[in-house]
């Protein structure tokens, strides 16, 4: 798995992680996100165009990044977020996904990740949504 990092500007600055290869390990992706976060990134878009397969370890990394970016936004009510997650209506404003393959989309849906992460079909559209 390789990660190429770039920057884009929506209404807020967006850090794009273009991932290439199967995501079978959580550590590298989490480490890259942490490094970006420490460098000031607060909104991350994961471009999954070239990800043929995502294991549960990959899902674990996605959740870790979701939590990392959520921790910084204390102004967002934690209770409201929890209630939103419980109702399946909360979508993270800080972590979004773009262009998963049909199979990866199936994996994300089976694990209920589409309930808290926005999934876009187009990278530009995803950037503009932040």
Partner 1 sequence: MDTALLKHVPLFVSLPPSALADMAVSFQETRYSAGAVLFREGDYGDRFYIVLDGCIAIVKALGSDDERLLGRRGAGEFVGEMSLLSQDGLRTASVRVEADARVLELTRADFDALLHRYPLLAYEMLRVLSMRLRESHDTAIHDLHEKNARLAQAYADLQSAQARIIEQETLERELRLARETQESMLPRALPRLAGFDIGARMVAARMVGGDFYDLLPLSPHRLGVVIGDVSGKGMPAALFMALVSSLLRAEALRSDTSPEQVLRIVNRHLLSRDARGMFVTVLYGVLCRETREFAFVRAGHEMPLLLDADGALLTPAMGRGHPLGLFPNPVLDIQAVRLPPGGMLLLYTDGVNEAMDAQSQLFGPERIVAAVRGARDTSAQQLCDQLVQAVTTYRGLAAQADDITLVAVRAQ
Per CB under 8 A, 102 contacts partner 1? no
Alpha carbon distance 130, 126 (integer Å):
7
User: Could you give the maximum distance between any two Cα atoms of the chain, in Å?
Assistant: 37
Per CB under 8 A, 123 contacts partner 1? no
Alpha carbon distance 58, 63 (integer Å):
9
Count of chain residues binding partner 1 (CB under 8 A)? 27
Per CB under 8 A, 1 contacts partner 1? no
Q: Provide, rounded to whole angstroms, the least separation between the CB of residue 26 and partner 1.
A: 7
* Interface with partner 1 (CB under 8 A), residue from 9, 11, 71, 88: 88
Alpha carbon distance 30, 128 (integer Å):
24
CB 59 within 8 A of CB 82: no
Per CB under 8 A, 115 contacts partner 1? yes
Taking residues 9 to 38 in sequence order and writing x for each that binds partner 1 by CB under 8 A, - otherwise, the string is: -------------x-x-x------------
Q: Provide, rounded to whole angstroms, the least separation between the CB of residue 20 and partner 1.
A: 12
DSSP output for 58-114: HHHHHHHHHHHHHTT-TTS-HHHHHHHHHHT----SSEEEE---HHHHHHHHHTTGG
Query: Which residues lie near partner 1 (CB under 8 A)?
Result: 22, 24, 26, 52-53, 55-57, 59-60, 63-64, 67, 82-83, 85-88, 103, 107, 109-112, 114-115
């Amino acid at each position: 798995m390789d990660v190429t990092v770039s920057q884009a500007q929506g209404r807020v600055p967006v850090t794009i992680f273009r991932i290439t290869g199967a995501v079978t390990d959580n550590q590298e992706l989490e480490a890259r996100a942490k490094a970006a976060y420490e460098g000031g990134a607060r909104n991350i878009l994961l471009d999954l165009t070239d990800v043929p397969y995502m294991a549960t370890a990959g899902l674990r990394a996605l959740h870790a990044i979701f939590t990392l970016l959520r921790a910084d936004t204390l102004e967002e009510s934690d209770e409201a977020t929890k209630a939103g997650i419980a109702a399946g209506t909360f979508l993270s404003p800080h972590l979004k996904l773009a262009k998963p393959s049909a199979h990866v989309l199936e994996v994300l849906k089976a694990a209920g990740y589409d309930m808290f992460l926005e999934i876009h079909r187009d990278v530009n559209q995803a950037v503009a949504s932040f």
